[in-house]
Amino acid sequence: MRPLPLLIPLYLVVALIGAGGMARPAAPTAAAADVTIVALPTRPRWEGRSSRPIRVFIAPGSAVAGWRPELMDAVWNGFRQWSTQGVPVRFTRAASPTSADVIVEWVDALPGTCIGKTWREDVGAEISTARITLALHDHRGLGLTVAMQRGAALHEIGHLLGLEHVGQRSSIMYPQVWVTDISTGDRNALRDLYAQPGRAVAD
């Protein structure tokens, strides 16, 4: 059996908790998209990407107000952090969007309480391409802190690797940014996903 020829775009978002430390959590906005993922028979992941690194193009956001060049290194650092966790996935920087599997871009703001979004194309149980959009401001126009942006980037890269939302606030995969680092539980979840035997997706 060949995989379905259709690419399935998945929209996954991370929401902003109340700014200024007075957290008034917004309802997770990605529930519908996540239900779609949970319903899949096998959880999608990248295949064979330790020998063939995933090519990441980080687009400069120089046209977006408030963007700073050092954000590119910060995001790239996030990719490196996830790929050093005993997972058979490696990343390399791509020189152009056309030669990339993954594109990271910045926008001024995202709708509602979203501060990050991952658009992922899955072919069968294999992740094919992805695009991460990161916001520089919240929906009220307030600039996101460096910590908030770091948390959002790590969260979206988690989605990019195949992780779904979890219910623990100590996890970077909680649907809101409460922590800004990858937890032991997150690392274990990723190892579990990639420790499953290889799944043939063609023929």
The binding site for Zn ion (CB under 5 A) comprises 12, 14
Amino acid at the residue 66: G
The residue (of 124 and 151) whose beta carbon lies closer to Zn ion is 151
Q: Which is nearer to Zn ion, 14 or 37 (CB)?
A: 14
CA distance 191 to 88: 9
We find the least distance from the C-beta atom of residue 33 to Zn ion, in angstroms, to be 8
- Report the nearest approach of Zn ion to the CB of residue 12 (Å): 4
* Cβ-based nearer residue to Zn ion, 89 or 154: 154
Structure tokens at 83: 């790929």
Instruction: In angstroms, give the least distance from the CB of 28 to Zn ion.
Output: 8
Which CB sits closer to Zn ion, 12 or 89? 12
Closest CA to 102 of 44, 160, 61: 160
CA dist., res. 43 & res. 7, Å (int): 15
Three-state secondary structure of 37-97: HHCCCCCCECCCEEEEEEEEEECCCCCCCCCCCHHHHHHHHHHHHHHCCCCCEEEEECCCH
Beta bridge partners of 89: 49
Nearest approach, Cβ of 165 to Zn ion (angstroms)? 5
| Residue 107: how many other CB atoms lie within 10 Å | 14
CB of 52 to Zn ion, least distance (A): 26
Classify residue 72 by burial, with Cβ atoms within 10 Å: 0-12, 13-18, 19+.
middle
Residue 14 or 127 having the CB closest to Zn ion: 14
Q: C-beta of 2: minimal distance to Zn ion in Å?
A: 30
Name which of 54 and 110 has its Cβ closer to Zn ion.
110
**Residue 185 burial by CB count (10 A; 0-12/13-18/19+): exposed, middle or buried?**
middle
